Structure 1
Amino acid sequence: MTPIVSVILTSYNKPHTIGKAIESVLLQTLNNWELFIMDDNSNEETVQNIRKYINKPRIHYFNSNIQDGDRYKTTRYATLINEAIPKTRGKYLTYLTDDNSFLPSRFETMVKELNQNSSIEIVYSQQLVKTINEYGIIEQEKVRKTYGVLKNPVGWVDHCSIMHTRNLAERIFEEFGSYWNDDQAYWYNGDAAFWSRLTKYKPFHPIPEILDIAIKDDKSFQRLYTHLPKSIPNGTLVRGPSTETYIIENQVRRKIFQEVFTKLKYDPSMVVKIPDPFLFKYKEGTPIDSQVFINFLLFPNQRLVKAQNHPAVFYLQNNHKHLIKNEKTFSDFNLRWDKIISTDEHLLAQLPDGLPIEELSESTPILPDGTLFKHENYYISLKNCLHPIEKQVAMKLKLPVTNPVKMDHSLLSKFKTGEPFEWEILF
């Protein structure tokens, strides 16, 4: 029997919620459906949980086998949906993610609405959104409501809350050459890009009741991606949901081994959590392990160091050591005495000398990398350039927005302005 509803479930590394998502399809009061589980090469725990269901009739499983270094190149969930749609047979198409679940009456309610009026080809419902913290405790619940017939649903409707006709999908493919736009520019709001295609033909019609539940935890893509700049500044500590901790240095990622994390005076609270695809787009560089205390040329930049039994303190940047001129310099740039790393003098001698870092004035020759400045707006110093940075981006990157280094216009104008760090989303 040809299914009425084809469900496309996209999955990536959500072992604790993927089962509930699948079960919510199995519990539908309308039984004439097929489910396509499109997994994006998840970890073994997730795959094992999926395998519990793939021997059931009407459930089809596909693994993309995507390599980590290629994830960022397209909006992966849109790519998976595009691969799934030609495999489906249903009269109606609907979507599910691995951290969402359907209420049992969802298919029956939506199909009834679509069948009653042939001019309606897209329906959407209300959605219950549960925000959960890292301890699994619900912090907030809210209802994403319906707002009547929508000709511009961007920002109002989640893609787990709609159902549309196959006919409409085929018309989109004929015009655009694909169903969803999976350009990497739409990682944050791929559904919005798809809505713009759908509404060229038909508006969204409301079903004013909750028919799906969304879980937003500390690993949810939207929470990790919000306010993340296209390029992450050197010196930023980062970690993906399924990765170790890295530092971005010379625009590669260097894994920091736990054994040296504390020795290098890094602070766990300063680690920025980001989505895996945006971590993996940085090539992996030389790891930061115990070897950095043997070969100082491997030592990470943006660290304060001094030789044992010697008072001189240096700031490392661009693989040079820069003498901190005096205590006022420390104060002017908000440097911290408790972050100084003591090492052997012969190791420190391996690094070439750079210009000294002097008190903040109009004659200051060099700025310490990674310092947040403010003159009306925020700036971050990198390679002696001042890069504009949005406040929300600076907060995302754990920069000290409440205690920046204040600078006047004359000092700001002395240094070259670099490319801005900003959060860009389309729609």
Structure 2
Amino acid sequence: MSFNPKVTVIMTSYNKPELIGIAIKSVLDQSLKDFELLIMDDNSNMETINIIKEFLNDPRVTLYKSDIKDEDRYKKTRYATLINQALELAKGEYISYITDDNMYKKNRLDLMSYLLNTNKEVNIVYSAQKLIHLNENYQPISSVTRKTEGVLNKAAEVVDHCSVMHRKSILDDIKKKYGNYWDDDKKYWGYADAIFWNRLNEKHLFYPTLMVLDYNYRTPRSYKVMHFGLPSFEGGECFIPNGTIVKDNSTNIYYFDDGKRRLIKDPKIFNLLQFTSSDIIQVPDPILFKYTLGKEITNSNLKKSIPNDILIKSDDNDQIYYIQKGKKRPIQGALHFYGFKMNKVITLPKQIVRSISNGPALIGVVKKGEILPNRLIIKIEHQYYLVLDNCLHLIGSLDIFEKLKLNREDSLIGSKEWLQWFNIGPNIVYEW
């Protein structure tokens, strides 16, 4: 390899041990050998790092590992931050991108660099891409080909950055104008490449090759999959409602309670709370970790810090309570009225139940001034509302129901009068 390689390949990496080795090997197996591979890892787990280390004996491969803290991930679009760092380090005449869930075809670098070598007026080339959906066991279940769309003066949201190669020389003007290359503002988590393409398209066109030159693997743990359906208040950031059970990008499970994520480490506690694997959702770590870590839910602290939005009963009688704002609200003939399920009722020692302060009863009638249960779904005419902190929020996307494990069949049928009785909060929408 020459001191100044023909191509710099920039790979971003975060916690994908199942695929990172495939991605790296696809670069090292290229028919064009004159390249450097910069692996920009965002402080992944050791399983991922150990796989990367297996390839570091190749002098073309360099690992840069960030020290980002989990609670700071949401503050920037991290992969854009890492790419900006890599572009400052790049020695290649041409720049190519790959992610840890992508794979290059063997001739990708050779063909794309040839197109740039032989067409001096062309500064950016892109290819078709095959998108492959994998299941939980990383077996393919479907695929689709993203075809090229001709010469593009608006490549945003059309071209994936793993399908692009461009001259490094065109970056200077962007840095001079914007102060960086990729915009890493946190609002661009899902489409920072589109923002970068807009910058490139100010002076340059994207020229196609019709061939599929890379494969993108979409897994249940891909950012776009985990983000899909997450609610946000209209015009605001996405959020995780209280009462949601979330698994992180590793194996940790959290219960969202009073705006904090509470770790459930003990499987016995998970079962005691009548949670099941079907209750769990996955969200991207940057969104999860922006929430403060609350008290772990353990047997020993159930008495002092019982989780909200659960159903309990004492082991010495059949009275069922709903926990809200740290108080137990007796449910009086209204279990099915509110869509509560008997199989979610937790039996606790009478000493714990008696130690919890009493709250107002829940009866099978909704009245003005009533304090409604959290996460209650109300259907008024043909519209659905979600109750959060006693405010009614119009749900603007059916995808939110699936993401949050909400069942529309459990909706409480309300009247238009209720819209005057209760505070109306901002609409809840899904926005990419």
Task: Give TM-score scaled by structure 1 length.
Answer: 0.95
Q: CA deviation at 1:419?
A: 3.4
Which amino acid counterpart does residue 161 of structure 1 have in structure 2? S
Partner of 2:155: 153
8 Å contact from structure 2 (residues 368, 421) kept in 1 = no
Partner of 1:284: 293
Partner of 2:385: 379
Partner of 2:254: 246
8 Å contact from structure 1 (residues 291, 298) kept in 2 = no
In structure 2, the gaps of 5 or more residues are: 232-237
Q: Distance in 1 between matches of 2:429 and 2:118?
A: 47
Q: CA deviation at 1:155?
A: 2.2
In structure 1, the gaps of 5 or more residues are: none
Partner of 1:216: 218
Partner of 1:255: 263
Deviations 1:174-196 (A, max 9, x none): 11101101111111111111111
Is 1:298 aligned to 2:298, yes or no?
A: no
Q: Distance in 1 between matches of 2:27 and 2:318?
A: 67
8 Å contact from structure 2 (residues 258, 308) kept in 1 = no
Deviations 1:283-320 (A, max 9, x none): 11101111144x2x311111111223323221101111
Deviations 1:168-221 (A, max 9, x none): 222111111011011111111111111111111112111100000111111111
Q: Distance in 1 between matches of 2:420 and 2:195?
A: 40
Q: CA deviation at 1:364?
A: 6.8
For residues 52 and 338 of structure 1, do their structure 2 counterparts lie closer, same or farther at Cα, with a shift above 3 Å needed? closer
8 Å contact from structure 1 (residues 132, 216) kept in 2 = yes
Q: Distance in 2 between matches of 1:54 and 1:67?
A: 25
Q: What secondary structure is seen at the aligned counterpart in 2 of 1:316?
A: strand
Q: CA deviation at 1:377?
A: 2.5
Corresponding residue to 2:130 among 117, 123, 128? 128
Is 1:410 aligned to 2:412, yes or no?
A: no
Q: What secondary structure is seen at the aligned counterpart in 2 of 1:149?
A: coil
Q: Distance in 1 between matches of 2:175 and 2:379?
A: 49
Partner of 2:273: 264
Partner of 1:355: 360
Is 1:393 aligned to 2:400, yes or no?
A: yes
8 Å contact from structure 2 (residues 338, 410) kept in 1 = no
Where do 1:321-340 residues align within 5 Å?
321-326=328-333, 329-340=334-345
Identity, in percent, stands at 38
Is 1:274 aligned to 2:283, yes or no?
A: yes
Q: Runs in 1 of length 4+ with deviation above 4 angstroms?
A: none
Deviates more, 1:315-324 or 1:345-354: 345-354
Where do 1:19-38 residues align within 5 Å?
19-38=21-40
Where do 1:69-218 residues align within 5 Å?
69-218=71-220
8 Å contact from structure 2 (residues 377, 386) kept in 1 = yes
Q: What secondary structure is seen at the aligned counterpart in 1 of 2:418?
A: helix
8 Å contact from structure 2 (residues 8, 90) kept in 1 = yes
Count of residues in Structure 1 that have an aligned counterpart in Structure 2 = 421
8 Å contact from structure 1 (residues 305, 315) kept in 2 = yes
Q: Distance in 2 between matches of 1:69 and 1:364?
A: 38
Which amino acid counterpart does residue 380 of structure 1 have in structure 2? L
Partner of 1:225: 227
Corresponding residue to 1:365 among 367, 370, 373? 370
Q: CA deviation at 1:362?
A: 4.1
Deviates more, 1:200-209 or 1:399-408: 399-408
Which amino acid counterpart does residue 291 of structure 1 have in structure 2? S
Q: What secondary structure is seen at the aligned counterpart in 2 of 1:112?
A: helix
Q: Distance in 2 between matches of 1:167 and 1:96?
A: 20
Which amino acid counterpart does residue 308 of structure 1 have in structure 2? D
8 Å contact from structure 2 (residues 151, 208) kept in 1 = yes
Q: CA deviation at 1:384?
A: 1.4
Q: What secondary structure is seen at the aligned counterpart in 1 of 2:67?
A: coil
Q: Distance in 2 between matches of 1:184 and 1:272?
A: 22
Which amino acid counterpart does residue 352 of structure 1 have in structure 2? S
Q: Distance in 2 between matches of 1:405 and 1:169?
A: 56
Q: Distance in 2 between matches of 1:123 and 1:383?
A: 51
Q: Distance in 1 between matches of 2:22 and 2:315?
A: 57
Which amino acid counterpart does residue 415 of structure 1 have in structure 2? F
Q: What secondary structure is seen at the aligned counterpart in 1 of 2:171?
A: helix
Q: CA deviation at 1:241?
A: 2.0
Partner of 2:235: none
Q: Distance in 2 between matches of 1:384 and 1:189?
A: 34
Q: Distance in 2 between matches of 1:319 and 1:403?
A: 24
Q: CA deviation at 1:403?
A: 3.5
For residues 114 and 314 of structure 1, do their structure 2 counterparts lie closer, same or farther at Cα, with a shift above 3 Å needed? same
Which amino acid counterpart does residue 247 of structure 1 have in structure 2? Y
Task: Give TM-score scaled by structure 2 length.
Answer: 0.94
Q: Distance in 2 between matches of 1:213 and 1:7?
A: 16
8 Å contact from structure 1 (residues 395, 401) kept in 2 = no
